[in-house]
Amino acid sequence: MKVQFLNAMQAVGKPAPIDAIVTEVPSTARIENYAWMTPAPGVSRYKGYRRLAKMSSIKYTVENLEYDGSFTVPLRDVEDDQVGGYKRRMKDLVEKSKTPFRTRLLLQFLNNGASNTCFDGSSFFAATHNVGGYPTTNAVLTGGGNLYTVNAAASSDATTHNIYLLVRNEMLCPLIYQNRKPPKFGTDAGTAASEKAKKADYWIDLEAAAAHGYWWDAIKLTITGTPTILELITYLDNMHQQMSQFSLPVALATDPVEYVHEQLMWSPETVTIAVSVKLQQLMDRVLNEAYYGVSVAGSTSGINPKSIYFKKFTLISSNYLNP
């Protein structure tokens, strides 16, 4: 029974599927400088001379941090463990240091994006940015740049929710995981020091950092009050509208404006919507209910027009994204 119990025991939570919005980069130094993040200049008609643009000297600096997990066990308990329980706890520690740790670190970093500095010196989510172009007004949402708020008209429950619109960029995703030292397991079990202390220590060490990609690949919206499904669709429409007007920086005044996402076709492969956990069920209906405005999941009574967001994005929800 003890062995069966241990075999059924799952001590590692299932992390959110965030790979589509994460670029993992190897790191060989304590601090990495990303001096190449300013986009290349646009292409215009050749008029007999080169329009040589100077690449920006912006350096996005990301410092790797040390992380660890550890526990200690009296040697007598290890010796009395006849079913391998402590070995499984070691395995738990190793597994937690992999995808679960990476996911938690990145989602918490995303949720703090209004405070984190991005490559252009502004916050990743900000009403104004130093590099790139964006609309300054919206008929429904309050704010600017890629940071917005809205009050849900249909509710006064004062609950706040976060929505993140994230676009997968083949070159650089909205989140970066900088991996310097992958998890390394260690123990002093079997050493003279362990015997003297009558205990065995087990630990995991790793070195990594979270960072942001381009701000124009993401929008954050904070909603005050729990919205209806129709309100959620309206908010997505307006976030989509704002993002379609984001433009790349121009190296020369004569360069034509390049709109980053004006031709973006929404699909589960290109767009991820990440929400705080209390908004999951409503957003799941936006994604999976073909007709909006119905009051019961699966119902088609009182059919409204088909939702344009039906099966059009990947949905992530997490408590790490709560306001």
CATH number at residue 177: 3.30.2400.10
Q: Tens digit of pLDDT for each residue in 234-286?
A: 999 999 999 999 998 876 777 788 899 999 999 999 999 999 999 999 999 89
pLDDT at 186 over 90: no
- Distance between CA atoms of residues 143 and 156, nearest Å: 21
Q: In this structure, which amino acid lies at residue 30? A: R
- Distance between CA atoms of residues 65 and 287, nearest Å: 37
Q: Tens digit of pLDDT for each residue in 80-89?
A: 765 566 677 7
The answer to the question of residue 212 being in a domain is yes
The pLDDT, as a whole number, for residue 284 is: 92
The answer to the question of residue 122 being in a domain is yes
The answer to the question of residue 48 being in a domain is no
- Distance between CA atoms of residues 303 and 234, nearest Å: 18
The pLDDT, as a whole number, for residue 48 is: 73
pLDDT bin (cut points 50, 70, 90) of residue 185 is: confident
pLDDT at 177 over 50: yes
The pLDDT, as a whole number, for residue 303 is: 53
What is the domain range of residue 279? Answer: 2-40+60-321
- Distance between CA atoms of residues 304 and 285, nearest Å: 14
Average pLDDT, the chain: 84
Instruction: Give me the mean pLDDT over the 148-157 stretch.
Output: 86
Most confident of 75-79, 122-126, 184-188: 122-126
Q: Is residue 100 helix, strand or coil?
A: helix
pLDDT at 38 over 60: yes
- Distance between CA atoms of residues 166 and 124, nearest Å: 12
pLDDT bin (cut points 50, 70, 90) of residue 1 is: very low
The answer to the question of residue 196 being in a domain is yes
Per this entry, what is the length of the chain? 323
Confidence (pTM): 0.84
The answer to the question of residue 53 being in a domain is no
Structural domains in the chain (count):
1
Longest distance between any two alpha carbons in the chain, whole Å: 84
List the one residue out of 159, 157, 161, 158 whose CA is nearest residue 149: 161
pLDDT at 200 over 90: no
Contacts within 8 Å (CB) and 24+ apart, 302-309: 307/233, 308/233, 309/233, 309/236, 309/266
The answer to the question of residue 271 being in a domain is yes
Partners of 275 in the β-ladder: 163, 317
The answer to the question of residue 52 being in a domain is no
The answer to the question of residue 79 being in a domain is yes
pLDDT bin (cut points 50, 70, 90) of residue 31 is: very high
Phi, psi values for residue 127, rounded to 5°: -75, -25
